[in-house]
Amino acid sequence: MLIPSDYFTSPAHYQPRIAILVGCQDNLMALSWHMPISKSPFRYAIGVREENMTHTMLLEYRSCTLNFLPFSSYEAIDICGRAHGGDKLADSGLTATNRDKNGNMIIDESDTVFACDVIDTYQNGDHTLFILEIQETYINISVPSQPTLFFGQGCYATITNNIRANKPVV
């Protein structure tokens, strides 16, 4: 079913993006503005609005975790995205048994977690781009990899088929 284009408040929000949780110390923030930017060294970029507490914390602590949760956790991601302040971990029902070397939460329910150091920032539009260098990667083999896609306005989806193309690795 096609949705009228005015359904979303901004056309910039209408694109499927993988939703993640950024863990900075005891703070969690839902985020969909992110992407890998370098393979070697492994670097990632995230866009965070200046008015978010996470923005201030990233500048202060210079590190975070990127927690990729499966689609079954979409409600927890949504809770963390709608709440401002408070104990988002408790409110979401997620757990964080471990922390990275910098004290940032590693969400147990994640299928993949990147522990990152902030190496640079770049102000662009209404977001600051934080350039992160991945220091450690954690893979949870007991969680199925089914990414949570965020469309905006509380709309979530996932992919249903995983296919691995047979091609030579270069």
| pTM, to two decimals | 0.87
CB 89 within 8 A of CB 28: yes
52 Cβ contact partners less than 8 Å away, ≥ 6 residues apart: 29
Whether the CA torsion 53, 78, 151, 140 is positive or negative: it is positive
Domains and CATH numbers, the chain: 14-154 (2.30.110.10)
What are 1's strand-pairing partners? Answer: none
Give 3-state DSSP helix, strand, coil % of the chain, rounded to 5: 20, 40, 40
Nearest CA among 63, 55, 61 for reference residue 31 = 55
- The tens place of each residue's pLDDT in the chain, 170 residues long, gives 555 555 555 555 567 899 999 999 999 999 999 999 999 999 999 999 999 999 999 999 999 999 999 999 999 999 999 998 899 999 999 999 999 999 999 999 999 999 999 999 999 899 999 999 999 999 998 877 789 999 888 889 898 776 777 877 66
